[in-house]
Structure 1
Amino acid sequence: MEVSYKWLQAYIDLPESPEEVGKRLTATGLEVEGIDTIDAVPGGLNGVVIGQVLTCNKHPDADKLNLTTVDVGAAEPLPIVCGAPNVAAGQKVVVALVGATLYPRSADGRPAEPFQIKKAKIRGAVSEGMICAEDEIGLGQSHAGIMVLDTDLPNGTPAARYFNLEADYQIAIGLTPNRIDAASHFGVARDLKAALNRPLRLPSVDAFTVHSTDFTLDVRVEDTEACPRYTGLTISGLTVRESPQWLKQRLIAIGLKPINNVVDITNFVCHDLGQPLHAFDADQIAGNQVVVKTLPEGTPFVTLDGVERKLSATDLMICDAEKPMCIAGVFGGQQSGVTSQTTRIFLESAYFAPTSVRKTAQYHGLKTDASFRFERGTDPNMPVFALKRAALLILEVAGPDARVTSAITDLYPSPIAPFRVLVRYRNIDRLIGIRIDHTEIHRILDALDITADEQTSEGFVAVVPPYRVDVTREADVIEEILRIYGLDNVPLSPVLAADSLSEFPKTDPDQWQNRIGQLLAANGFYEILTLSLTRPAYHDAIRQTLPGADVTLLNPLSDDLSVMRQTLLFSALETLVYNINRRQRDLKTFEFGKVYHKATADDGSVKYVERMRLSLALVGNQQAESWRQKNQPVEYHDLATAVQRVLNLFRVKSVDTQPADPTLFQYGLTYLVNKKPLVSLGLVQPKLTKLVDLKQPVFYADFDWSALLKLAGSKTRYEEVSRFPEVRRDLSLVIDKAVTFEQISRLASQTERKLLRSLNVFDTYEGANLGADKKSYSVSFILQDATQTLTDGAIDKTMQRLITAFERDLGAVIRK
C-alpha cells in the first residue's frame, strides 16, 4: 500500500523527514518497504528560482533581445539575455539557473524535448540563465512572454514552493492482512497520532447541506446480513470533466491514474478515509430504485472492464428496478458507470460483510481497491461521514450548478457494537516483560480510540471500536500497547541474554542445511525453491505410494494449485522442463522443502503432517560440451555418487538396500538405516516425466531430511595414520546377473573383519562367452594390518577365505 507524505501532513503535523516518519511507522508495525520521490511536474522545477530584474537594456546588436541583470539571491546578480517583449526592470520573474533541466510543453500542451540551461554568449553578450515563460517550465502552453509574479518571497526561493509544486514522497507500506484499519491516510495518521503523541486533524463536513429533495430514490436492502449498513444520496447538475491539479497530484502520488473528477473523488476518499464509495449514473437507474439483493445463479452481468460474468447465487448485487448495476463491494457495471455525459449521480457508501465480499471476489477472480478493504473489514461507523466528505468535494470540483438533491439514506437496522475485552494489568506486565505506568497505558489506548470501562486496581474493560477487527482478545490489546510504547524501549533481560547460548540445539537443522547446500553447490548443483501448491493429477498418478490423503485448499486460486504437495518430485520435474524449454538442457538441481498429507489418528481424528525432504535431480550430460571429450549422458552412478557425498558428510558408513518403489522409479535403490528408509534414488518412470511434458530421462533422489539429521549427532573420530603399508589384491568374479555388488561387499566384510579395509569394482563385463545370465566383476581388495607388515602367507590365506566364501555363498567362478 502506498501513502503520500504530503497527504499525511494534512492530518497531522510532521516536521520529521519522510525517512524519519518511515522509521516511526515501521516501529509501530506498519513496515515501510521504500520511499520514492514524486515530482509534481517533470523535473520538479529543480534549479528554477524566483528572481527580480534589476536592470533591463536593449542589446546593442539585436533589436529583439534585452540585456538584464537579475537578483536570484546570490552574492552577485546574474547577467541574462532575454528575448521576451514584456521583460522590464523591477519585475519578479521565474529564473532557470545554469545546470537546470527544463521540461517544456508544446503549443498543444504535450511534453516537448527537455533541455539543459548552459552558460552562453548570445550576440557577444554573456548569459548565465534564462527568464522563463510558462510553457518553458511545463506549467502551461503560453509563450507570449515571461511569467511576471506578484509575490514578496525572497529572491532565490525555489519556484516549486511558489507554485505549490514541491516534491511529494510516496511511502510504500507492507500492510499485513490484520491491519486493514491502516489502509488509508487517516488510518496511518491515527498510528502516528498515538506514536508521536500529537493531535489529529479530521476534515470537517460541517458545511454539508441538502439543497433540495427533488431527486430522491427508493433504496431497499433485502439481504441485511451481507449488507448491514447502506447509505447514499443524489447529486444533480454536475459536470464530469478533468480533475483539478491538486486532486490529480494526490492520486498520482500514490500510483493511481486520474480518470475524471467524480471517479477521482471516490478514489480519493477511499484512500483518504479507507471507505470505498461508488458513483452510479442516476439517469441509468431504472424506476428510480436501488435494491441490494442476490440474483439467481448464472445471471449474466457485464462489469466495467467489458467482461461478461456469470453471477453466483450468493453474490450480493446493487440493482435497479430492472437490472443489476454493480457487484456489491467489488466491481461496478458497464451500463451504470459515470461518463462524460453524466449530469446526475447516486453516490453509495456502505458497509458490506467481509465474508460476503471475500467469497464474491474469490469466485470471480476480481481484486479491487474496494474489495481489498471490504473483505478485511471496514469501519461500519464511517459511511455517512465519508459520504458527506465526498459530496462536498464533488460540489467543489464538478461545477457551480452541482447540488445535493436528496437527503441521506441510511439503512442500518442492527448497529455493530464495539468489542469489549477484559484486560488485567498483571497480564500486561507479564506479556510485555516490564511494568508500564498505568497512566501511559491509558494514554496509548486513548490515542488508539480504545476507551477503558469498569476500571479497578486489577484491570479494566477495553472498549475497542469496530474498525479494529484484529483487536478482540486481551493479548491483542496488550500488543497495541506494546507496539506504540515501542519494542525498542523494552530492555533485554540480562538473565535471558546470559542463558541464550545454552538454548541452541545439539543438531542445528539450519547449519546442516547450509553445509549440505554448500557441498552440492560445490559439485555443480543449483538450488531451486518451488511452490508447496501443486496439481491433484500428480498425486493421482502415484496415489498408491503416498502416505496419506491430500491436503486440499478451501479456496484455491486455480485447479492447478489446489493441493499441498506430497512429494518434491514434480516440483523438480517442472523446474527441469522450464529450463530445458529455454535451452538449458544439462541440469543438476537440489531442493530443501516440506511435503504435506492428512492422516487418521487412532481415535479417528484427522491430523495434518508435514515433513522436510531433500531432493536431487539430474538430466542431460555430465559435463558441458567440450572438444576434449565427447558428450556423456548422466547415469545412475552420477546420482549415486552425489547421494554418497551427502551421506559421507553425515558419516553414514553402512546402509542396507532394497529395490526402489517401482511406481516412482524405473530402476533404483532405497537405502535403509536401522530398517527405516533414508533415501531413494533411481531413474524416474517415463510415465511420470510425461505428465510435465519432459521427454529426457531424469535421475532423482529423495532424502528423509529428518532421518538424516538424527544421524548428525555422532562425533568425529580421529585415527593415527598406520605405519604399515596397504596391500592390494584383485579378483575377477563370474557371477549371476541377479547378484549385486552390495551382496559381494557384505559377504566380504563378514568373512574378513580384521584386515579388509575396502573393496571396489574397477571393471565389469558381460558377453556370450560367459554364458547366459552371467556377468563378470573385477574387484580390488585393500588389506592392511594396523600392528605389523602383512606377509605373503597372511595375504594368500585371507584371499583364499574370500574366494571360498564367494564360491560357496554366491556361486562365483574365479577367473584366472
Structure 2
Amino acid sequence: SFRFERGTDPNMTVYALKRAALLIKEIAGGTISSDVVDVYPNKIENRLISVKDKNITRLIGKNIPREDVFTILENLEIAIVRKEAETFTVSVPPYRVDVLQEADVVEEILRIYGFNNIELTEIAGTAYLAEFPEKDSNKFKRALGSQLVGNGFYEILTNSLTNVAYQQKHNLTFTGTPVEMLNKLSEEQGILRQTMLFTGLEVCAYNINRKQKDLKLFEFGKIYWKNESGEDVTKRYTEEERLALYMSGNTETENWQAKSKAVTYYDLAQQVVQLLDKVNLENLKQEKLDDPLFEYGMKLMKGNKEIGKLGKVKTSLTKDFGIKQEIFYADLNTALLFRSANPKFVVQEVPKFPEVRRDLSLVLDKQVTFDEIRTLVLNTEKKLVKEIIAFDVYEGDKIPAGKKAYALGFTLLDESKTLTDDEIEKVMTRLMGAFEGKMGAVIRK
C-alpha cells in the first residue's frame, strides 16, 4: 500500500509496542507481564544533510530569506544543527524517508513556501513562453497521421521482426548489418527490419488476397542496424524512425460521374508534397532515385541529408509476395523531418495587382526533370515568376527520339504595380533564352 511504500520510522517500534500494550490492558482487560526487550544494536540516527544557500535560489528561482527557510524546516521537524556563512546543515529524522539529499530539502522548502509565491523571472517570462509549448515529436506524428487519414489513408502497425530471406534473395544491402535475434521464434522473424518495405508488402498482399485491392496505407515505425566498427557497445546499434506510405489499385471507387483511375507515381508524390507543405519544409531538393528497391522514383534532400524517397516498387519484389498489381511506396525519415520542420509561417497581404499567365511549349532531352526546369526558371527570374506548372508532358509522334515535350504555365506578378506587356515579354524572352542556352531546348511556336 502507499502507506508502507513511504516507509516507517524504526525508532517508533518501542513507542508503538507500549501503546499497543496499554490499549490491550484498557480495552481487553489484559495485563502487562514484563518490561520491553529491545534488540536494536545499530540504532538508525538522524540523517545530516548540508544545504547551500545558492542551490536553494538556483532550484527555486527566487531568493528566500534564511529566516523563512529555517522557520519552514523547523516546523517540519527538520532541525538546523549547524549554520555557516553560505551553508547550513540539517538533521532529518528517520521517518522522513523521502528526504535523502539536498534537492529533497529544497523541495520541502518550496512545497511549504508555495509555488504561487514564485514570480516569473525574465528567463522564465514572456521570452520563454513565446516558444511554448516546445516541439513535440508525438504531436508532430499525430498531425501527419491526421493529414493522411483525411486523405483516405489507413494506418497499419507491423512487426519490427522480418525475414532475412527477403533481402538475401535479391542480394540487397542496407546501412550497417542486420541485427539478428539470439532466440528466434522462427526464421520468418529472425532479424530486425532494415527497411519498412517488406513488412508493408506483407500487409498489402494480405489485403489484396482478400479482394481489397485499392490500398492507401501508412505506418510509423523504426528500422534497425548494427555498426560493426562501433567500439562503444551503446553506439554499436542504431534505430531510426520512419514513415512509410503505400498506394496501389485505384485512386477512387468507380461511380456514375467518373470511371475508376489507376494509382500512379504522381498520386503518391502529391501525398508526399502535401505532407512536406504541412510541416513547412524549406530548401528541399529533388534528385533522381537509384535504389534497388525501386524501378524508378525520386529522393528528397535537405542539404546533404536524405529526407526520404518514393517511387514504384520493383516488380521482382512484389512477385515474391504474390502481388500482381503495382505498389507505389514512400519512405520518409520522420526524425529528420521533425528536426527540419519549420513551425512558423508568414502572413502577408493579398496582392493588390493582377497576376498574368503565360504558357510555353518546349522540347527537351528526355533526361531533364521538371525540378531542373523549375530551378532554372527561378534562377533566371525569381522576382516576378510566382508559380510554374507543367500541364502537359508528351512523348511520341512528331517528337524526336530521346526527347519529350513540356507544356509549361508561368504565373507572373509584381506586388508593387501592374505588369505591362513589354515587361512580360522581356521576362518570357529571358526564360526562352535560358532554356535554349542552358538546356538545349527547342521552343515550339
Give the TM bin, normalised by the shorter chain: 0.7 to 0.9
State the match for 2:52 in structure 1.
none
* Contact 2:178-2:192 within 8 A present in 1 as well: yes
Provide closer, same or farther for how the CA distance between residues 453 and 518 of structure 1 changes in structure 2, counting only shifts above 3 A: farther
Gapped runs of 5+ residues in structure 1? 1-26, 29-193, 196-431, 444-451, 460-480, 483-489
Deviation at 1:537, TM superposition (A): 1.3
1:560 corresponds to:
188
The partner residue of 1:457 within 44, 54, 57 is: 44
Partner of 1:576: 204
Q: What corresponds to 2:441 in structure 1?
A: 812
Q: Check conservation: 1:590, 1:615, Cα contact below 8 A.
A: yes
Answer yes or no: is the 8 Å Cα contact 1:734–1:774 preserved in 2: yes
User: What TM-score does the superposition give when structure 1 sets the normalisation length?
Assistant: 0.40
* TM-superposition CA deviations, 1:309-358 (whole Å, max 9, x none): xxxxxxxxxxxxxxxxxxxxxxxxxxxxxxxxxxxxxxxxxxxxxxxxxx
Alignment of 1:307-346 (within 5 A): none
Contact 1:541 1:688 in 2 (8 A): no
Counterpart in the other structure of 2:391: 762
Give 1:627's match in structure 2, choosing from 221, 231, 256.
256
Displacement, 1:797?
Answer: 0.4
Q: Offset at 1:543? A: 5.7
Residue 495 of structure 1, CA deviation? 5.4
Q: Among residues 295, 298, 301, which one is paired with 1:672 in the alignment?
A: 301
Deviation per residue, 1:28-78 (Å, 9 max, x gap)? 7xxxxxxxxxxxxxxxxxxxxxxxxxxxxxxxxxxxxxxxxxxxxxxxxxx
CA drift at 1:441:
10
CA distance in 2, matches of 1:754, 1:644: 23
Q: Which residue of 1 aligns with 2:145?
A: 517
Return the offset for 1:760. Answer: 0.1
1:747 counterpart residue number: 376
Question: What residue is the counterpart of 1:797 in the other structure?
Answer: 426
- Please give the alpha-carbon distance, in whole angstroms, between the structure 1 residues aligned to 2:201 and 2:12: 56
Q: Which residue of 2 aligns with 1:708?
A: 337
The residue identity in structure 1 corresponding to 2:216 is K
How many angstroms does 1:455 deviate by?
4.4
In 2: Cα distance, 1:442 partner to 1:611 partner: 55
Q: Does 1:438 align with 2:9?
A: yes
What one-letter code is carried by the residue in structure 2 that aligns with 1:532?
S
Residue of structure 2 in register with 1:474 after alignment: none
Assess if the C-alpha contact under 8 Å between 2:281 and 2:342 holds in 1. Answer: no
Larger radius of gyration: 1
In structure 2, the residue matched to 1:587 is: 215
Count of residues paired in the alignment = 352
CA distance in 2, matches of 1:458, 1:534: 58
The answer as to 2:163 corresponding to 1:535 is yes
| 2:227 aligned counterpart, secondary structure | strand
- Residue 616 to residue 787, structure 1, CA distance change in 2 (3 Å): same
Is the alpha carbon distance of 1:440 and 1:554 closer, same or farther for their aligned partners in structure 2, counting shifts above 3 Å?
farther
The runs of at least 4 aligned residues of structure 1 exceeding 6 Å deviation read 440-443, 498-505
Partner of 1:643: 272
Q: 1:545 to 1:677 in 2, by over 3 A?
A: farther
Native 8 Å contact 1:656 1:675 kept in 2: no
| Maintained 8 Å contact 1:507/1:713 | no
Query: Matched residues in 2 for 1:743 and 1:442: separation?
Result: 83
> In the TM superposition, what is the alpha-carbon distance from 1:437 to its structure 2 partner?
4.0
Shift in Å, 1:531: 1.2
Amino acid at match of 1:438: D
Show structure 2 runs of 5+ residues with no match: 15-38, 47-96, 99-106
Aligned to 2:415: 786
Could you tell me which amino acid in structure 2 is paired with residue 751 of structure 1?
T
- TM superposition shift of 1:609: 0.9
The equivalences for 1:287-298 within 5 A come to none
Once the two structures are superposed, the pairs formed by residues 463-478 of structure 1 within 5 Å of their partners are none
Cα 1:744/1:721, change in 2 over 3 Å: same
Checking the alignment, whether the CA contact within 8 Å between 1:506 and 1:713 is kept in structure 2 is no
Give 1:507's aligned residue.
Answer: 135
More helix by share: 2
- Taking a change above 3 Å as real, the CA distance of residues 458 and 711 of structure 1, as seen in their structure-2 partners, is farther
Q: 1:591 to 1:438 in 2, by over 3 A?
A: same
SS of the counterpart of 1:573?
A: helix
Paired residues for 1:150-161 under 5 Å: none
Distance 1:441 1:699, change over 3 A: farther
Q: 1:442 to 1:665 in 2, by over 3 A?
A: farther
Cα distance, 1:723 vs structure 2? 0.4
Paired residues for 1:246-257 under 5 Å: none
Query: Separation in 2 of the partners of 1:751 and 1:543?
Result: 45
- Residue from 166, 179, 191 that aligns with 1:551: 179
2:355 to 706, 726, 749: 726
2:182 counterpart SS class: coil
Fraction of identical pairs, as percent = 41
The alignment partner of 1:777 has SS state of: strand
Aligned equivalents of 1:441 and 1:716: distance in 2?
64
CA distance in 2, matches of 1:440, 1:656: 71
